[in-house]
Amino acid sequence: MIVVTTPTGQIGREVVTRLLDAGEGSPPVRVIARDPATLAPQVRDRVEVVQGSHADPAVLKEACQGADRVFWLVPPTPGADSVEGHFRAFTEPLCEVIAAQGPERVVAVSTLGRGIARDAGLVSASLAMDEAITATGVHYRALCPPFLMENVLHQVASIRDAGVFSMALAADRVLRLCATRDVAATAARLLLDDSWTGQEDVPLVSPDDLTPEGMAGVLSEVLGRPVRTEFSSSAEQKERMLRFGATEAWAQAYADMVDAQNDQGFYGASQPTTPDLAATTFRQWCEEVLEPAVLQSQN
């Protein structure tokens, strides 16, 4: 039995789809969903559903009963009063379930910057999650993507209307990228494989070697219109998040992550690409995901 958290999220949804498409003989799938009605009907009919949050110890205990593999993702929650507390609230019940019920393998979405990132807000909280899960001794794979290409979708309106791609990261420094589809594909492959053991990080870095300015160039070519990069400071990013309802703690953690990345460069050129695991290029993603999103937003 495979347990999947966040089955309606960007990554979790695709993990479920890939598991269900694996064919005859693949393990059954159980999902944890706050609102089962948000699951696609074709998914809801083929999985077991445990209703609730995977931060709830009782819900997680029920979901993991008889399960030997877990897909784990702590959902981003900009309304959280504490970033560290938010990650702990999810991770501590998982560690308790591992100790009591013994799922053998956990595949979690973490972040790149291993052994490099310090005082990095959201990244530091994610790394602390890894440390806690690793300490249980469970067989563990931490999926480590850098900047997710899907973050660009938040700027569809600005790219469409003003030709502006705003970044708080150094415009002339290489920024490592990954598409969520590649995170999901790797997660599903590991969840379907019951032969791996031990604890390892799995970097997921696309073949690209682009700076934010280079990304704007790709956007221009794919969309057939000029797109320029506009630098936005971490303070400006924080103020924007506060205006959209994030708590002071979450917005500050985001700003700390940006500052740490600019200062430490842990999503940069020194990180090798892993095209065998993260094959989607930024151009391919722009053609297949961003351009249709821009066109749809014009209707």
Burial of 298 (C-beta count, 10 Å sphere; 0-12/13-18/19+): exposed
pLDDT score for 297: 85
pLDDT score for 115: 83
pLDDT tens, per residue, the chain with 299 residues: 999 999 999 999 999 999 999 988 899 999 999 999 999 998 999 999 999 999 999 999 999 999 999 999 999 999 999 999 999 999 999 999 999 988 999 999 999 988 888 999 999 999 999 999 999 999 999 999 999 999 999 999 999 999 999 999 888 899 999 999 999 999 999 999 999 999 999 999 999 999 999 999 999 999 999 999 999 999 999 999 999 999 999 999 999 999 999 999 999 999 999 999 999 999 999 999 999 999 988 76
Assigned architecture for domain 2-145+179-203: 3-Layer(aba) Sandwich (3.40)
In b/e form, how buried is each residue of 163-192, taking b as 16+ CB within 10 angstroms? Answer: bbbbbbbbbeebbbbbbbbbbbbbbbebbb
pLDDT score for 243: 95
pTM for the full model? Answer: 0.95
CA 10 to chain centre: 8
Cα-based distances in Å from 143 to 6, 18, 114: 15, 17, 11
The answer to whether the beta carbons of residues 145 and 278 sit under 8 Å apart is: yes
The tally of CA atoms less than 13 A away on the side-chain side of residue 104 is 12
Radius of gyration of the chain from its Cα atoms, rounded to whole angstroms? 19
Q: Are strands 164-167 and 139-144 parallel, antiparallel or unpaired?
A: unpaired
- The first and second tokens of residue 137, run together, are 């001794």
pLDDT score for 171: 85
pLDDT score for 76: 93
pLDDT score for 52: 97
pLDDT score for 25: 84
pLDDT score for 24: 83
